[in-house]
Every structure is written in structure tokens, then in C-alpha cells.
Amino acid sequence: MKNKIKIVAAVLVMAGIAYWTFMSVWPSIYSGAGIMFPVGSGPIVVTNTGSQPIPIEMRSGERAVSFRVVSAEIGLAETAARQGSGSSAYYTVNFELPPGQTRLDVTRGNNVNLISRSETRIEAVVTPMSAGTQRNVLIMAAAAMLIGLYYISRVTQHRWIAVLRSKLTKNELQQKETTA
């Protein structure tokens, strides 16, 4: 009974890690007119569905932290400017989003929101992490899963190896009988 509890606990931890990993790296999709949504530290692909450029504001959240927005497609490489003072201060970058699809990258910052006050509908796919951070998260999750599998195997005294060996031996015997 004690071993079953250990195995169930290990499986629950592994399921939690898998869920967290999935939610951490899966892109979010936002769509609408006059919307605001959070962006991570990964790329953002924004589609302006209208025929005219629209004003976009990218603003830091509660804790005022400077950030930088870069887009080679529209020639944007701007560091956020501080607005206000004291605890009500925030950083902001304003630019025009041309019609069509544009890739934006937020660097040196987090807790940034993209704000569109225009009546023109925009669609955005937000990747919450940069490629390097995603790779690190996936490697750490895989390592944790392997450790969890080893722990379960150890709790069961590696019985699966004996079962696998017996199946391999049976298959080898069957192959020898059919060839003889």
C-alpha cells in the first residue's frame, strides 16, 4: 500500500510538471478591436486586419520596469519611455501598426501589455517565452519526468525490466523456431 501511494504521488507530480510545461510554452491567441493583452518575452505576431495603420501602445504593468520593443519589419527598435513618477510610474512605447502581419519582440522586460484602442480588429499570437527559455523549460521538464520514471521504477524494484527480458526471450525463441 505504501508503494502505491508513492507511485500515485510521483505520477501526480509528473502530471503537474507536464501541465505547467504545456501552459508555459503554448502560445496564446487574442483577437478583437480595442483590446489589451499581456505579452511575454517571446515573439508576438500581430495582424492588423484593416487597411490603415493603427496606433499601438505597449505599456509596463504594475511594477514599472523598462523594456524594449523591436521589429525589423516596420523598422522599430525603441526603448520604453518613463511616464509619471513614484509608485504610479510606468513605461510605454507608442507606434503605428501597418496593415497585415507584423512580428514584434519585447526584450529586456516583462509584465508588458499591448493596447489597441482602435476600432480596427487585430489578431495576435503571443509566445510567452523566448526560444532559449522554452528550450531550457523543456529540458528541465524532460529531466524531471525521467527522474520521476526512475523513481517509480525504483519503488517497484525495476520489475518492468524482468518483464521486458522475458518478452524478449520469448520473441527470440519464437523467431528461432520459425527459422528452423
| Domains detected in the chain | 2-21+134-179 (no CATH), 27-127 (2.60.120)
In this prediction, the residues of the chain whose per-residue pLDDT falls under 50 are none
Is-contact 99 51, C-beta < 8 A? Answer: yes
Per-residue confidence (pLDDT) for residue 173, from 0 to 100? 63
The secondary structure element, H or E, covering residue 114 is: strand 112-116
Rounded to two decimals, what is the model's pTM? Answer: 0.71
Per-residue confidence (pLDDT) for residue 180, from 0 to 100? 60
Give the angle 133-129-44 at the CA atoms, nearest 5°.
Answer: 145
- Predicted confidence (pLDDT) per residue in 114-166, tens digit: 999 999 999 999 988 888 888 999 999 999 999 999 998 888 887 777 776 77
Q: How many whole angstroms separate alpha carbon 113 and alpha carbon 115? A: 6
Q: How many whole angstroms separate alpha carbon 65 and alpha carbon 125? A: 23
Per-residue confidence (pLDDT) for residue 107, from 0 to 100? 82
Per-residue confidence (pLDDT) for residue 109, from 0 to 100? 74
Per-residue confidence (pLDDT) for residue 121, from 0 to 100? 93
The tally of CA atoms less than 13 A away on the side-chain side of residue 155 is 17
What does the block give as the cell for 113? 501589455
Per-residue confidence (pLDDT) for residue 159, from 0 to 100? 79
* CA-wise closest residue to 22 among 117, 145, 177, 170: 145
Q: How many whole angstroms separate alpha carbon 92 and alpha carbon 68? A: 9
- DSSP three-state, residue 154: helix
